Amino acid sequence: MKYFVRILILFNLIFVASCGSLPRQSNTILADREANPNVVALRKRLLEIAKEGIAFGQQDATAYGLDWYLQDQPEVLTSDVKKVVNKQPALLGFDLGHMELGNTYNLDTVPFALMKQHTQKIYEKGGLITFSWHLNNPVSGGSSWDTTSAVTEILKDGPVNQKYEDWVKKISMFFKSLKDEEGKQIPVIFRPLHEMNGAWFWWGKGRCTPEEYKKLWIKTQELLLANDVHNLLYAYSPNIMSSSEDFEMFYPGDDYVDILGVDIYNHSGDPEFMKAVSSNLKILKEKSSGKNMPFALSETGNFSMAANPEWWTEVLYSTIQNSGISWVMVWRNARKDHYFSTYPSEVTENDFMQFEQKEDILFLPELKSIHN
């Protein structure tokens, strides 16, 4: 009898010990098992948004635009989008690149203090916020686009590993500082180490093995958790994929991901772009099926806006309509030869107005009424 009891106790201990690493079996389990309630609510809300339509977002939308810059007036909330349709985007994207260096501005000269203020303002208005991180190469000291081998060095004990851990600690402090008026942490979407199936970043294809990339993703997440960051949803976001196998190559696993995304730009003309977006969103929909994961067109834009004055309605909308995505985010309006939304007097301005009128395209006012 004593032998039986000992076996039973041992079995229970093994079962309890393994529960923390069980695969995702519930659609309520997040990558961060200790995520705060606001994060759980955000994930549910993203699923609800997809039932109602598609949230429209833009990178750095409220920080600057064509011929204006809010560096000295962070309390102001405007955007090129608002100047055209009198509505803010439903989602704001910001980048943490250069925070790891201890700078007060990111790589696109956006003050981190402004990001924090605008995150708070947009969240109070019912909007969504997503962060990427174009961090420097920790080996060479170059930019994200410096493809000097670095991942292997991060994954082993040594000065580069220590540097990376210190960098994650810096962004951890920023994430934990994002709080609403009641002092509760604001839930945001974090899209790290993106476009890994391309060869242009030091963490990308050919710069490390798929297994090394997965280890880096998991290490980054574990470091954030160890720094007591519990207000993030983690978005996995490859560049354009050729197949489901392309998606799986670098995928760290369901236990480490909350949202699926893909980044696709219009480089080669409208027909190719539409074909790519359609096929890639089908891949995401298939991968999210059964897991109840939100998915999105996490980064996009047209490099030749002047080529089609009706691009928003004829190309983008017709391709993402009824796709199941929670949001679409276009890249930033940096200057007249590098912009991805519209602005007053721009060639697609009138068509963007028609795009905004689509019942299932959601801007900030429409998003506020959608709860989890």
- For the cut 80, the answer to whether the pLDDT of residue 26 exceeds it is no
Number of alpha helices (DSSP H) and beta strands (DSSP E) in the chain: 13, 11
Q: What is the pLDDT of residue 72?
A: 66
299 is catalytic: yes
Q: Using pLDDT thresholds of 50, 70 and 90, give the confidence band for residue 28.
A: low
Domain that holds residue 99: 32-367
Q: In angstroms, rounded to a whole number, what is the distance separating the alpha carbons of residues 182 and 62?
A: 24
Q: In angstroms, rounded to a whole number, what is the distance separating the alpha carbons of residues 210 and 194?
A: 13
Place of tokens 């697609």: 348
Count of domains for the chain: 1
CA dist list (Å): 372 to 13, 47, 145, 263, 286: 36, 8, 38, 26, 23
- For the cut 80, the answer to whether the pLDDT of residue 372 exceeds it is no
Residue of 299, 346, 356, 366 with catalytic role:
299
Q: In angstroms, rounded to a whole number, what is the distance separating the alpha carbons of residues 342 and 50?
A: 24
Q: What is the pLDDT of residue 369?
A: 87
The verdict on residue 182 lying in a domain is yes
Among residues 214, 197, 215, 191, which one has the least CA distance to residue 294? 191
Q: In angstroms, rounded to a whole number, what is the distance separating the alpha carbons of residues 288 and 280?
A: 12
pTM to 2 decimals?
Answer: 0.92
Q: What is the pLDDT of residue 22?
A: 39
Mean pLDDT for the stretch of residues 297-318: 97
CA-based R_g, the chain, Å: 21
Q: What is the pLDDT of residue 192?
A: 98
- For the cut 50, the answer to whether the pLDDT of residue 303 exceeds it is yes
Q: Do residues 243 and 217 make contact, with C-beta atoms less than 8 angstroms apart?
A: no
Mean pLDDT for the stretch of residues 256-284: 97
Place of tokens 């429409």: 366
Residue of 48, 75, 195, 222 with catalytic role:
195
Q: In angstroms, rounded to a whole number, what is the distance separating the alpha carbons of residues 38 and 43?
A: 9
Q: Do residues 95 and 59 make contact, with C-beta atoms less than 8 angstroms apart?
A: yes
The verdict on residue 10 lying in a domain is no
The verdict on residue 314 lying in a domain is yes
User: 27 versus 83: which is more confidently predicted?
Assistant: 83
Mean pLDDT for the stretch of residues 1-8: 38
Q: 310: which 2 tokens? A: 């009706």
- For the cut 70, the answer to whether the pLDDT of residue 173 exceeds it is yes
Task: Identify the CATH number of the domain in which residue 182 sits.
Answer: 3.20.20.80
CA dist list (Å): 22 to 29, 255, 349: 11, 8, 50
The verdict on residue 251 lying in a domain is yes
Q: Give the rounded percent of residues in the chain with a pLDDT score beyond 90.
A: 87
Q: 319: which 2 tokens? A: 């391709």
Place of tokens 């009138």: 350
All residues at 6 or more sequence positions from 338 whose CB lies less than 8 Å from its CB, including other chains: none
Q: In angstroms, rounded to a whole number, what is the distance separating the alpha carbons of residues 234 and 256?
A: 7
Q: What is the pLDDT of residue 71?
A: 65
> In terms of DSSP bridges, do strands 232-236 and 91-95 run parallel, antiparallel, or are they unpaired?
unpaired
Whole-angstrom distance between the N-terminal and C-terminal Cα of the chain? 51
The verdict on residue 3 lying in a domain is no
The verdict on residue 271 lying in a domain is yes
Among residues 324, 266, 276, which one has the least CA distance to residue 300? 266
All residues at 6 or more sequence positions from 268 whose CB lies less than 8 Å from its CB, including other chains: none
Burial 79-89 (b: 16+ CB within 10 A, else e): bbbbebbebbb
Q: 32: which 2 tokens? A: 């961060």
The verdict on residue 21 lying in a domain is no
Q: What is the pLDDT of residues 46-100, one digit of tens each?
A: 999 999 999 999 999 999 999 899 866 767 799 999 999 999 999 999 999 999 9
- For the cut 60, the answer to whether the pLDDT of residue 340 exceeds it is yes
The verdict on residue 12 lying in a domain is no
Q: What is the pLDDT of residue 256?
A: 98
